[in-house]
Amino acid sequence: MIASKHILTKFLKQAGITVNGNQPYDIQVHNEQFYSYVLGNWSLGFGETYMRGFWSCERLDEMVCRLLKSNLDRKKFVWNNIPLLFHYLSSLTLNLQSIRRAFHVGEVHYNLGNQFFSSMLDPYMQYSCAYWEKAKNLNEAQQNKLDMVCQKLYLKPNDHVLEIGCGWGGFAEYAIKKYKIHYTGVSISKEQINYAKKRCHGLKANFTLMDYRDIRGEFDKIVSIGMFEHVGKKNYADFFKGAYQHLKKDGLFLLQTIGSSRSKIATDPWIHKYIFPNGFIPSYQQITKAIEGNFHLEDWHNFGVNYDYTLMAWYDNFKNHWSQHQSSFDNHFFRMWEYYLLSCAGYFRARKGQLWQIILTKIESSQKYISYRP
């Protein structure tokens, strides 16, 4: 225990983080088991010990940012533990995002309850990065994002639009009402589908509980906002092959996804276990390799710094509305979501995560695309 405490304290000091220090980003340890558990499990250990109340931090988001900026996650001893190695070997050898596993994340995460998500998100229920340029609050920033997507797709009346990962129907409602499109959306969450159907009742919208590999038909435009993180690198070729087959010759495909500047083997083990089972963050190379031969890459827009602001706004809403959910969720759940939202904010603040909107056209398209920025 003493050795573990000495090693981890010295390790954190390299990132400017003092154990039991007086800065808001310093860690306050409440249980001495924190040291050995983190050394044995690293990122999984950080998250699990926080959930158990072994430590606290006034500015957890800033602590994570400092930790990641220091690149301590690449230190050699971090890899000398069996749970981490097993996690990465599983990602290498298994297709964690197969059709058989596809609905698991919907059951674990997206089906937590529409009331829960509506209290945390904006009125359009956008559970992806907002666009904060000229926005005063989360609602304006998410509406900015929705309109930017529509503008980049050059939507026009009667376009038939497919959304892969329709969420709670916010994009559908916005695009149908403002641009008079016809809409088809799919999701692997029954809660989302039920909510979206009620939201868009009477509009030209069709929602189906379905994996993206079962989609049929051709569309003028395709959009996917914050769903690609669930596809997995072993399925990228199939995902883009499907998009190619479903897109008309001169159509446009907009993909919004979290991205990484480095190709990785697997997602963070704590996020995988508690938040987004089987998720995976793509790199530039993994995307471009998968689209080669089928698509022109017309536009690549990175506004990852906006995700920090979005996550902090979600956290404020989550915390301010927590009293509404205490009868459904316990304090363990609260600390889990607090750690998720704030650590992810730190991740983007450290520029370890990017946020990309990518415009693709089919390789045989005669469409001349002009990039749009608001």
What are the DSSP calls for 38-56, one per residue? HHHHHHHHHHHHHHTTSEE
Q: What is the pLDDT of residue 102?
A: 43
pLDDT digits (tens, 9 = 90+) for 269-310: 899 889 988 788 999 999 999 999 999 999 999 999 999 999
Domain ranges of the chain: 2-80, 109-306+352-362
Torsion, Cα of 49, 53, 55, 60 (10° steps): 90
149-167: string of b/e by CB count within 10 Å (b at 16+)?
Answer: bbebbbbeeebbbbbbbbb
* Tokens of residue 55, six digits: 């430590």
Backbone angles phi, psi at 350, to 5 degrees: -80, 0
pTM of the model: 0.91
Q: What is the pLDDT of residue 73?
A: 61
Which of the following is catalytic: 57, 65, 200, 344?
A: 344
**Residue type, position 326, single letter:** Q
In DSSP terms, which residues pair with 348 in a beta bridge? none
Question: Is 266 within 8 Å of 280 (Cβ atoms)?
Answer: yes
Domain 109-306+352-362 superfamily per CATH: Vaccinia Virus protein VP39 (3.40.50.150)
The CA radius of gyration of the chain, in Å to the nearest whole number, is 21
pLDDT digits (tens, 9 = 90+) for 32-78: 999 998 988 888 899 999 999 999 999 999 999 999 999 876 554 44
Distance CA 59, CA 289 (A): 39
Residues 6+ apart with CB under 8 A from 187: 106, 110, 165, 166, 167, 193, 196, 207, 209, 210
344 is known as an active-site residue: yes
Distances (CA, A) of 246 to 182, 218, 239, 289: 15, 4, 11, 20
Angle (CA) 295-174-374 rounded to 5° is: 60
Q: Please tell me what DSSP assigns to residue 136.
A: S
In DSSP terms, which residues pair with 73 in a beta bridge? none
Q: What is the pLDDT of the chain when averaged over all its residues?
A: 90
* Tokens of residue 186, six digits: 């799919």
Q: What is the pLDDT of residue 97?
A: 45
pLDDT digits (tens, 9 = 90+) for 313-365: 999 999 999 999 998 999 999 999 999 999 999 999 999 999 999 999 999 99
The percent of residues in the chain predicted with pLDDT above 70, rounded, is: 89
